[in-house]
Structure 1
Amino acid sequence: MSNPVYGKQAKRSSSVEKKPVQFWLLIVAFIAFLVWTPFQVALFNGQMLEFEKPLFWGVALSSILLLLWIVNYYKSFQLADQRDWLPLAVLLLPITYLLSYFGAASHYLAMNMVLVECLYAIIFIVSLYLLQDQRTNQIIQTAIMTVAYIIVGFGFLNWFGQGKFAGALVAWFSFGVMNGKYTDAVMTDSNGLRLTSVFQYANTYAAFLMAFLFAAVFCLIRSKKWYGQAIHALMLVPIIVSILLTLSRGGLVMLPVVFVLLLLFLKPAKQILWVIYCAIAGVVSLGISKEVTDLGLQLNQKFEAGAAAKAWAFLLIASLIVAALGWVIQKFIAPKMEQGLAKTFAKKLANLWIPVGAIVVAGVVAFLLIGTSVRDILPQNVSTRLENINFKQHSVLERITFYEDGMKVVKDYPVLGAGGGAWAALYEKYQNNPYTSRQAHNFFVQYLLEVGIVGFVIFMAFVIFIFYKYIRGYIKADEEGKESYFLYLILALSILLHSILDFNMSYVFIGILVFVGLGGMAAGMDSQPLRKFSWKTEGAGWIYSLVVGIGSIVVLITSIRFVQAADAGLEAKKIVQTSTSFEEIKAPLDKDLGIRSSHPDSVLLMSSLYQSVFKQTQNESFYNADYVLLTSALKKESYNKDIINALITNYQLKNEQDKAYDTLVANAPKFNWDIEWYERLITQGFELGYAALGQGDTGSKDKYFKEGIAAFERVQAGLKHLATIPKEQLTGRPFSNSPMMILDAGKMYFMTNQLDKAADTLKKGLKKDLSDSTNREIAHWYVAAMQKQGSNDQAVLDQLIKVDPTAKEQIENLLKLNF
């Protein structure tokens, strides 16, 4: 009996042999794009000049893909059923980012994200149509799995110390190779070495591996050819070992969750096969994990061919064992299993037995590996990471803090959001403590604060509708129909669920995989005719193609222009290293800023150039040019700390200390936990107030002292708040009172006759060692504040006199001061 869902697709798709040349060109271009993108280190969402060029090339290439799509599908586009409206609906995603751009915290980051969302929309549209053709669907699934396996192999080349060889393989087309090696294919953090392959971030690689572990199991069971079964079974061990080498706790936590959810879609016999393959591959992987880990750590310190061969031998032999077992199970056991278990699992809700059992088994395994000495079978670094999995672990508490801080942003930008990249621009203003994180570590929180409630609702409605209609179609489909698009569910579900815990979607290749997944799910969804709409849609293809064609050309031109801007910016940075010529450095910067006027890196480099020349020549035209440059940039990048600091420096070059100080004060709320900002604010507040006092300007003195004291009191409030943070949570960057900060604040309290506060403040800075001049001065002012209140601290006074015989005289002079 024909499947009602897939039967409609078959009617739409004529046989592949009849497809024109341009159709094959689109397929080849699409596959080439999938192969190219993962090796572009900069297809991270672009927050540095070095990341931008490949990002914009990716957007440009996607625009060309859309133009090829138009050539193939402009005649067949229609608005007859629910699926047909998805190419229209997906355009709302970049539109919401475009709307948020106008009120964005950073126009630079927001525009980058508008282009990224255009790329995602294009990938979805192309995927949706290509994957409705069954032969094309098979080709693209094969290409996706091939790319994934190449990435896994690439990771092991780097783990086994062969980074130079791996870099040479991709250097001819990848922007990620520097000094002959792929950037951070093995990263280092406080946990030691962690495998990242092409992603430079271990947790994102873990999300990728989790998705393709389940994809490999699915392809193994689905494959009808022995070599297909062998290849997919062969990759199970490398994928699982790679997951362990990422040291990703989030990956290990989410893996059983996704596994159980996917089991719910399968018949009991296939559920058993999934459990068997994961169990076999898991046991074998654990068996070699210590050797592979230790050898990799050794080889990354010093490469030895013998040790590398030994490491590859462990991996290859273990993989061959699992491949052989997989072939045997598929050849002799799997065909009989479904028939033999048909009666056993014929009862109602029988397909829930194994998922429920899997939950129990996962719980037991988790308990053994986390709470008992069984974890000692794992490599030491993995064992340590597992030991620290709990809800009081610092990374969990920090993520909760990120999410709470993200909601503060949403509260201030509820409707349209704060624009793409808003978290990176704004987090220092809203953060609960002085952590450093340019990512919110939750895709959904980050999406919400970027595009607001309107954009978030549109995105979630889009995704949920596709999942809902796909599941309806899956339930109705025959066995072949179920398998045709299940890979796309695996990819989208796995990555989106893991993105609750991390910023995987900030890597554009991961986002591409998700939107290919959504496109594939939409191609296989239960699509009902839109009978309520009676208007004719014969011209819909022409109209839609015209609109998206114009849009793709605009995106193409914009992205190429941005590539030119990035090239110019990078050229200027190179010239600075070898030349001091003003005109030579300025020329590429003018080109860059002519295209993107607030491009932060180039704004800062141009500013430093103007300031350097002004210091040398005292020609005010350079000062004025710098002022115009910086103030114009701050209209679009008002939260960019480096640009604000450049403006402060600009004022100071002309000794306009009052303007510099006012800029410090005005921008202090944007950086609530930057202790260096507070130190400057307090110190300069005292210096300017003291200077005003010397000139008899008591009004200015009161103003500066009031602002300096307010800054100091904010620091004290911050310190009290930090004391309430759970001890398991890292507080972040240093945040404490410095001796100079205490001295200046104490002086300001003293000079405004707040003697009790002066004494309390100065007492915080008292040290036993008074050989340091700052410590002695704190002690002088402290004793003076005490005596002026009619009290004394004789111990401190005696200690001062031992070190400084003139201490009494200095204190008496302070007491005589009249403010």
Structure 2
Amino acid sequence: MGTKKPQPGYYSGTKKSASTSTSANSILLWILLGITSLFLFWAPFQKALFNGNFSSFEGPIFSSLVWTCIIFFLLSVFLFYHWKLQTQADLLTIAVWLIPISYLISTFSAASSTLAFNLFYIQIIYVAFFLLAYYISNAKFGLTFLKYLLIASAYVIVAFGLLNWLGQKEGVFRLVKWFAADMGLLKYYEHAVMEDSNGPRLTSVFQYANTYAGYLIAILLCAVHMLMTSKRWYTIALHALFVVPIIISFFVTLSRGALVVLPVIVLLVLPFLKLYKQVTYLLHLLISFVLSFIILNQVTTVGVQLFKTYDSQTALSAWTSLILCSLGYTVLAVLIQLFVEPWLQRKLDKLQSKRFSHIGLPLIVVVAGTIGAVLLLNDTGVTKMLPENIRTRIENINFQQHSVLERGTFYKDAIKVFEDYPVFGAGGGAWSSLYEKYQNNPYTSRQAHNFYLQYLVETGIVGGIIFILILLSIFYIYIRNYLRQNEEEREHRFIFYIIAIGLLVHSALDFDLSFVYLGLLLFLCMGAMVSSDTSEVKAAWLQTLGTKKWAFPSILVVLSFILFFNAVQLVSANRNYTTTKNLLASGNTDFNQLIAPLNLALEQRPTHPEYVLQKVAILFQVYSQSKDENYYKEAVSLIDQAREKEPFDYFLIERKIQSYLLKDNQQEALNLASEQIDNFPWKVALYEKAIDLATRLGAQAFEKRDQQSQEQYWSKAIELYHRFESQKQALASLPKEQLQGNEFSLTPQMGFSLGQIYYLQKKYPESENMLRIGVSDNLADAFTRQNTRWYLAALQKQGKNDQAVYDKLVAADPNEKNEVQFLVNLK
């Protein structure tokens, strides 16, 4: 292994070859840059391409796959002239394909075939943007263009978010509506400001505040870097203008995790800078944060008010403060860059030559940060200067709060899943499909809130090792090249490092990389980070492979065509399914109109659970009206076919149980409901259904005087009840600060079923206790009257009475007097 002098990008080689291909290169480069530009402004407004594991999120992701195929094709043409296999980074353009391959392998053991293939396609998108950045940024113009494109699209996202926060949500949405995600009848971008128990929180295009906060950390540090590396005062001013708005946006996300992560990411950035630049960098951050704090209270309060009711004067006052503060920082930033930084460079020049000088200041920052954390997290009065909602969030930062404890539970549960699927994982979307089986308590979270654990669950130890090795290789090559480069070369690529490290660190606490936009941003940055590598690989077999310059581009061409037709089918299927949903929403009941687009969707994705469930619902409804067995058989066939690929889809299980009950096959329905409790131990509805079915079957045996079957079914029901109670008691072991999640308690239906069993077993006190659960004043409801009837009978069997309830029941229906007496006389 050796090194050679840096080459001038793609346009190296003989003069003859350069002259024959320069025009084509230029055109292709511009087309690729144009597509990248359009995509990076379009994708964020598609809810940042969030992979939410529902069909409603799939359309834009599949559309992105179409874009990806076009990129692959153009890249393949480009690489017919320029593909080489000489450096370590060149090897990464092949090694990165191991990531989608690991996802493809995991589809064979996937918990959900649909979600697994979705994630496989997403990894293909990531590879495309890695290759795109790698080859584009080899040319200096391409590198510069890509850098400014990333920061420009980021500034648009920041501006969009603040316009929503300060009341201009309808006006700004009109500007982007023509290319943004469809918001239905809404005249604004839904959840750009989202309200939860903490109050309104800014989310911008992401619709999730924590992810937006993580993104803002990277953009803030990039903006400071960009203004520090700008040579002219007006470009310094341009980037400086956005620093205060970014900081304000960061705080009004109310993200505690991001506050914790911010100093960590700063510490991972500072050592790459010379000492005088470290001081300048921190000076910019200090001044911009101080100025932001001056207006933070006002802007926060105004945003909360405008979320409820718009008032132009209130909005204007906040905008005025924000603009003046931003202009103030901008003036200071220009002065710092033109006068203070050169002075610092002269003063610290000698100290810079000292060994380890570049890590001295970061160590001081660690100490200062620790002191700052103590001041913020203890009752020192510092937080009283902050707005109430932000102050409350900061004061609640500790390891014994619900969100921290719940994340710890997610992580432990993810390890349980991994232990059952250790080698190749359970496929893409595994956490979403399996978490209910392994969860410690009945929370709802289709994301593990930790990218690395979620990745491990999906691809196993094999995929995890592949990913980590590729990450380590990228950062090793970047850091090695960084140490060899001059200051100008370092500055060009540093923005890509900042974004990549920011996303990777914050993703350890949240599901940032479930947003495909951020995932492809990460891979794009990593591709640009290593594209300047000049360390040659001398292996003979690689040199031989490198002579086959047509091989890699040819594979890309074939892949681009295969994926293109597949992607078009995926987009078409999603649109056809959406058509059926829209027809149903509009009140259309024409069977043929509803089923035609749905059939087209199922032709392309026959086991997609949502497509199947929608058709089955229609078929069951038509069957109930017509009693035509063909509809029933088709529905059952669809369910069975889908369940083979989606064994953990609860809604398919529900439909299968329904199919049994439509034929009065209560035994099979009971068997399925009982066995699925192992996969859904916290699903109250399953316990309720299984207990009800066991009670009914036991009652039928009771009427037939079949003592053995009666006891068998009723014992089954009581066994399920005891299991339910055992699960409920386990919740008592949760820390008091951690909420249990979904409700997990006996329902009136469960109480009624168990009350009947105890009554017929002559265990009247137990029956009374169970039946009391369903007693209420809603006696217009048939179930409530039936439950109350049995409850009063159980009381009378004990020589007791509840006269008030009895009078209300008889007043609601005089016949109830005879019904109660009938139960009392029942032997």
User: Which residue number corresponds to residue 65 of structure 2?
Assistant: 59
> Are the counterparts in 2 of residues 424 and 438 from structure 1 also a CA contact under 8 Å?
yes
Aligned-partner SS, 1:671? coil
Question: What is the alpha-carbon distance in structure 2 between the residues aligned to residue 383 and residue 742 of structure 1?
Answer: 45
3-state SS of 2:426 partner? coil
Tell me the amino acid that sits aligned with residue 75 of structure 1: Y
SS at match of 1:187: strand
Aligned partner (choices 648, 668, 679) of residue 657 of structure 2:
648
Match of 2:491 among 472, 483, 487: 483
- Kindly provide the amino acid, as one letter, of the partner of residue 90 in structure 1: V
Q: Does 1:593 align with 2:602?
A: yes
Partners of 1:689 and 1:700 within 8 A in 2: yes
2:562 — aligned with what?
554
Q: Indicate the percent of aligned positions where both proteins have the same amino acid.
A: 37
Q: Is the 8 A contact 2:576 2:597 kept in 1?
A: yes
Offset from partner CA, 1:358-401 (integer Å, 9 cap, x none): 11222222222222322121111111111111000100000000
How much does 1:165 deviate?
1.3
1:151 to 2:157 alignment:
yes
Determine the structure 2 residue equivalent to 1:10.
8
Structure-2 change in CA distance of 1:379 and 1:691 (3 Å): same
Matches of 1:77 and 1:768, distance apart in 2: 73
**Mapping for residues 539-688 of structure 1, pairs under 5 Å:** 539-576=547-584, 577-688=586-697
Q: How does 1:173-188 map to 2 (within 5 A)?
A: 173-178=179-184, 179-188=186-195
Q: Report the secondary structure of 2:350's partner residue.
A: coil
**C-alpha deviations, 1:768-809, integer Å up to 9, x for none?**
98998646745865997xxxxxxxxxxx754568977999x9
The aligned runs of 1:86-101 (5 Å cut-off) are: 86-101=92-107
In the aligned structure 1, how far is the partner of 2:460 from the partner of 2:440? 21
Instruction: Please state how far the C-alpha of 1:499 moved relative to its aligned partner.
Output: 0.3
SS of 1:343 mapped into structure 2: helix
CA shift digits 1:142-193 (9 cap, x unpaired): 1100000011001011111111111111111122444221121111111111
* Preserved contact between residue 80 and residue 553 of structure 2 (Cα < 8 Å): yes
The 3-state SS of whatever aligns with 2:702 is helix
CA distance change for structure 1 residues 530 and 625 in 2, over 3 Å: closer, same or farther? same
Return the alpha-carbon distance in structure 2 between the equivalents of residues 759 and 467 of structure 1.
69
CA drift of 1:407 comes to 0.8
Q: 2: CA distance between counterparts of 1:71 and 1:770? A: 73
Match of 2:50 in 1: 44
Confirm or deny: 8 A CA contact 1:5 1:477 kept in the other structure. no
Distance, in Å, in 1 between the alignment partners of 2:73 and 2:774 is 75
Asked if 1:464 corresponds to 2:472, the answer is yes
Whether the aligned pair in 2 keeps the contact of 1:9 and 1:132 (CA below 8 Å) is no
Return the offset for 1:528.
3.8
For 2:776 and 2:269, the matched residues in 1 are separated by 68
Greater shift after overlay, 471-480 or 312-321? 471-480
> Counterparts of 1:466 and 1:234 in 2: how far apart (Å)?
33
Deviations 1:544-590 (A, max 9, x none): 11222222222221111111001100111111223111111010010
Gap change, CA 1:620 and 1:375, over 3 Å in 2:
same
Aligned-pair distance for 1:664? 1.3
Report the Cα distance in structure 2 between the residues aligned to 1:447 and 1:331, rounded to whole angstroms.
46
1:718-765 CA-to-partner distances (Å, cap 9, x unmatched) read 111100100100100000123542453355467679x7xx96686577
Task: Please state whether the residue corresponding to 1:188 is helix, strand or coil.
Answer: strand
174, 191, 202: which one pairs with 2:198?
Answer: 191
* Amino acid aligned to 2:123: E
Please say if 1:35 is aligned against 2:48: no
Provide the rounded CA distance (Å) in 1 between the counterparts of 2:658 and 2:826. 37
For the Cα contact (< 8 Å) 1:40–1:174, is it kept in 2?
yes
**What residue number does 2:296 align with?**
289
Paired letter, 1:259? V
> Using the alignment, how far apart are the partners of 2:315 and 2:737 within structure 1?
39
State the alpha-carbon separation in 2 of the partners of residues 84 and 383 from structure 1: 49
1:183-332 aligned at under 5 Å gives the runs: 183-332=190-339
Within-5 A mapping of 1:665-744: 665-744=674-753
Q: What code does the residue aligned with 2:247 have? A: I
CA distance in 2, matches of 1:8, 1:733: 59
* SS of equivalent residue, structure 1 residue 105: coil
Q: Could you tell me how far 1:542 is from its partner in structure 2? A: 1.1
Q: CA RMSD in A?
A: 2.7
Write the distance in 2 (CA, Å) between the matches of 1:41 and 1:541. Answer: 39
C-alpha spacing 1:813/1:218, structure 2 compared with 1 (3 Å): closer
Separation in 2 of the partners of 1:692 and 1:634? 32
Structure 2 residue aligned with 1:401 = 409
SS at match of 2:549: helix
Structure 1 gaps of 5+ residues are 785-795
The answer as to whether partners of 2:3 and 2:534 remain within 8 angstroms in 1 is yes
2:207 and 2:543 mapped to 1: Cα distance? 51
**Structure 1 stretch 268-277 or stretch 75-84: which is displaced more?**
75-84
Among candidates 339, 342, 349, match of residue 346 of structure 2? 339
Letter in 2 for 1:344: L
Shift of 1:694: 2.0
Contact 1:234 1:320 in 2 (8 A): yes
TM-score under structure 1 length normalisation: 0.92
2:444 pairs, out of 432, 436, 447, with 436
Distance change in 2, residues 1:448/1:747 (3 Å): same
2:194 is paired with a residue whose SS is strand
Following superposition, the deviation at residue 305 of structure 1 comes to 2.4
| 1:26 matched residue in structure 2 | 32
Q: Matches of 1:342 and 1:37 in 2, distance apart? A: 44
Deviation of the 1:703 alpha carbon: 3.9
**Residue 272 to residue 176, structure 1, CA distance change in 2 (3 Å):** farther
Task: Give a deviation string over 1:390-418, Cα, whole Å, max 9, x none.
Answer: 00010000000001111111111111111
| Corresponding residue number in structure 1 for 2:365 | 358
**Counterparts of 1:443 and 1:283, CA distance in 2:** 33
CA shift, 1:815, in A, is 11
Shift in CA distance, 803/269, structure 1 to aligned 2, threshold 3 Å? closer
Which whole-Å CA distance do the structure 2 matches of 1:383 and 1:627 have between them?
56
Contact 2:223 2:240 in 1 (8 A): yes
1:497 to 496, 500, 505: 505
Is the CA contact 2:767–2:794 (under 8 Å) kept in the aligned structure 1? no
1:488–1:803 Cα change, 3 Å? closer
Which residue in the other structure is 1:135 paired with? 141
With 500-509 and 296-305 compared, the bigger mean Cα shift is at 296-305
Per-residue deviation at 1:303? 2.0
Structure 1 stretch displaced more, 438-447 or 372-381? 372-381
Q: Does 2:387 align with 1:389?
A: no
| Distance in 1 separating the partners of 2:132 and 2:465 | 24
AA paired with 2:438?
Answer: Y
Q: Which moved more, 1:470-479 or 1:267-276?
A: 470-479
Contact in 1 for aligned 2:11/2:22 (Cα 8 Å): no
CA distance in 2, matches of 1:803, 1:65: 72
Are residues 21 and 770 of structure 1, via their aligned partners in 2, closer, same or farther at CA, if it must alter by over 3 Å? Answer: closer
- Taking the aligned partners of 1:762 and 1:351, their CA distance within structure 2 comes to 75
Whether the 8 Å contact between 1:195 and 1:242 is mirrored in structure 2 is yes
Secondary structure of the residue aligned to 1:126 is helix
Shift of 1:602: 2.1
Question: Do the aligned partners of 1:746 and 1:759 also contact (CA within 8 Å) in 2?
Answer: no
